[in-house]
Structure 1
Amino acid sequence: MAGELVEIPLNGTSLDGELVVPEGARGLVIFVHGSGSSRLSPRNNYVARVLREAGLATFLFDLLTAGEDQVYANRFDIPLLTQRLVMVVRWMRGKNGIRDLPVGLFGSSTGAAAALRGAVELGDEIATVVSRGGRPDLAGEALDRVGAPVLLIVGGLDQVVIDLNREAQARLPEGSHLEIVPGATHLFEEEGKLERVAELASQWFRDHLGASP
């Protein structure tokens, strides 16, 4: 299915993204990539394709402009990334054809922290959050104020991140869940592991965004 290239205005420049809306879409998933990545991330694009097959619209976008991305510190500036995410979600909520769809966030690495903080700021506008190999600890005290259910997906060989996610799960709302994928490292590069991530995310979003089974 064809995607729509979207330019979201930003102080005289823009953030680039691609929106794909399957016929009869029941929900919208906005991807929040991690440090050093972009809307072109092959892993997130794979997950997005699986979600579209499940009847969900997807939006992948760049959190930083090309110039901003050259400043290494910006990639870890969680307040800045959160601010961009909130701006993008609100802009998308005004777009014809998707304004009434329930919204979920899919965050990777540092993007997961921005997704969680964004969910706090956006409140009821966000139905759920999924984190892939995320750093929810970087969301700080916002973790205690997340209202939407969260799925944390972590590789079974990514021990440091497992520990951080376990600590985060204890602070997240009822209905949240930690899923450890056996034999997977941080990037889920092993055979079949990214497929498992996509399967878990697809089921979770179907359950929480009302998409078709």
Structure 2
Amino acid sequence: MAESFKRIDVSIGRGKLGGNLFLPQRPSGLVIFAHGSGSSRYSPRNVFVAESLVARGLAALLFDLLHPEESEQRRNVFDIPLLACRLQEAIGWAPRQNETKDLRIGLFGASTGAAAALVAAAQDSASVAAVVSRGGRPDLAAASLAHVRAPTLLIVGGADPQVLELNRWAQRQLRCKTRLDVVPNASHLFEEPGALEQVAQIAGDWFVEHLPDIGESRR
């Protein structure tokens, strides 16, 4: 793989949360990932999507939203305000790093992480250029949906009817540019053959459309 990979520590809150930064040679934007409950920056599904984005010229940051001792308390993984606060810290961290200081930011959230991404996008609309939700729970960000300004893509599996209905409801609450894409026959985790590849393609198209062209940020 021609792209470089760098492991970094992200300074958030009272300590440092470990993160993995994927960098192509000339990134056109930065996508920050927010994983779902019970997952981490090593989520194989998010890593797969991140590598797909890197292949298309986008940098990707995966980091742990909770400290190890925090993740042991189940209530924390559903604490959307806490997770959104950690995302905002990462959004603020990126412009201070040489590798990412000129890049516009997109957010990619999965499951409960999608709710955190939407809350963060609503609270920091000047810094977030696009949002993608994969099998997300945007209903958990209900109070923030009308305040999201970034173009938002909702991706849901066709075999995940409950979450699909929640996303249809959330789309009606959004006031930004939005689209709901359904991956046929895919379940909540998109484990079916080819399903995650479709997610990566759709998400990549969205970010390429709404983040700067390759090289624009580095001129």
TM-score by length of 2: 0.94
Distance 1:46 1:172 in 2: 28
1:152-189 deviations in whole A, cap 9, x for unaligned?
00000100000000000011134210000001000000
Partner of 1:134: 136
Distance 2:7 2:27 in 1: 18
Q: Give 1:18 shift.
A: 0.8
Q: Give 1:12 shift.
A: 4.5
Judge conservation of contact 1:155–1:180 (CA < 8 Å) in 2. Answer: yes
Judge conservation of contact 1:25–1:211 (CA < 8 Å) in 2. Answer: no
Q: In structure 2, do the counterparts of structure 1 residues 38 and 9 end up closer, same or farther at CA, with 3 Å as the change threshold?
A: same
Partner of 1:152: 154
Distance 1:10 1:188 in 2: 30
Judge conservation of contact 1:119–1:146 (CA < 8 Å) in 2. Answer: yes
Partner of 1:15: 17
Judge conservation of contact 1:127–1:149 (CA < 8 Å) in 2. Answer: yes
Judge conservation of contact 2:12–2:86 (CA < 8 Å) in 1. Answer: no
Q: Give 1:21 shift.
A: 1.5
Judge conservation of contact 2:8–2:21 (CA < 8 Å) in 1. Answer: yes
Identify which range, 8-17 or 125-134, moves more after superposition.
8-17
Q: Give 1:97 shift.
A: 2.4
Judge conservation of contact 1:31–1:61 (CA < 8 Å) in 2. Answer: yes
Partner of 1:195: 197
Moved over 6 A (4+): none
From 167, 170, 181, the counterpart of 2:169: 167
Gaps of 5+ in 2: 215-219
> What RMSD over aligned residues (CA atoms) do the two structures have, in Å?
1.1
Distance 2:176 2:46 in 1: 27
Judge conservation of contact 1:26–1:56 (CA < 8 Å) in 2. Answer: yes
Letter in 2 for 1:110: T
Q: In structure 2, do the counterparts of structure 1 residues 174 and 9 end up closer, same or farther at CA, with 3 Å as the change threshold?
A: closer
Partner of 1:186: 188
Letter in 2 for 1:90: G
Judge conservation of contact 2:10–2:63 (CA < 8 Å) in 1. Answer: no
Letter in 2 for 1:54: R
Distance 1:55 1:45 in 2: 15
Q: Give 1:89 shift.
A: 1.0
Percent identical among aligned pairs is 50
Gaps of 5+ in 1: none
Q: Give 1:5 shift.
A: 1.7
Which SS does the other structure have where 1:16 is aligned? strand
In the TM superposition, what are the counterparts of 1:27-42 in structure 2 within 5 Å? 27-42=29-44
Distance 1:43 1:172 in 2: 26
TM-score by length of 1: 0.96
In the TM superposition, what are the counterparts of 1:60-209 in structure 2 within 5 Å? 60-209=62-211
Q: How many residues align?
A: 212
Which SS does the other structure have where 2:4 is aligned? coil
